Chains A and B, each alone.
Chain A
Amino acid sequence: MGGYFSDIFNGSKSLLIGMGITFREFFKPIVTVQYPYQTIKMSARFRGHIELIADEEGKPKCVSCGMCERACPSGCITLGSVSVEIEVDGKMKKKKVLSKYDLDFTKCSLCGQCVENCNFGAIEFSKEYNLASSNKEDFHFNLLKRLEERNV
């Protein structure tokens, strides 16, 4: 019988303690960000989808070696290149030039192996995260076109 009454007493006390805690928490400042009115800056290492990096002339740094394509676990990168003759020091030399760099973001798992395997520092992570769409085609990125658009 004593257990019954002590249970009532201790139980009510525990409820009051809990209420005290929630009451104090109630007056603490709001910690949530009011998205989409407020946004936070992504951290420097945030891994978004990839983007090509341009050199001084605005051309992609990529030499189309295909390391990223091979490293990708999901096979979401497709590269294309054409051979063009350019003049270097008065001589005509053949050089591979990137003609296509497609990213199928629907398959990408954002592991970052492509960036890590790139020996020329030609790709980087985008900080873009507002990528919602109901159209699948919106996630097939033509990175060369995106680079040109950024240059303009």
Chain B
Amino acid sequence: MKEIICITCPKGCHLKVDEESFAVTGNACPRGAVYGANELRNPVRVVTSTVAAEGPQRRLPVKTDRPIPKGKMFEVMDEIARVRVKAPVRVGDVLIANVAGTDGNVVATKALD
């Protein structure tokens, strides 16, 4: 059994999830059961950070354009650390495709003019 807190709504139910069957208890609604099972099967997160930029705006904020496996977060950070951008960059421009072997891309979240 693994204990996790549900974040689907502000209530914050304390869920117990079976590691083999992914059965969930402690949830007050069906959405909690889905969340609990997914958190154990394949937890995913959006990673946000910044990359170095040339010019007066020293950093450009970026994100993964979809949630990537939680275990890959630091690998994604390492790849982001290697990027340096020059203007112009538009919001949504892909700066790293398939980052860390995931199907996610690292994209700009702000323009650099």
* B and A form one assembly: no
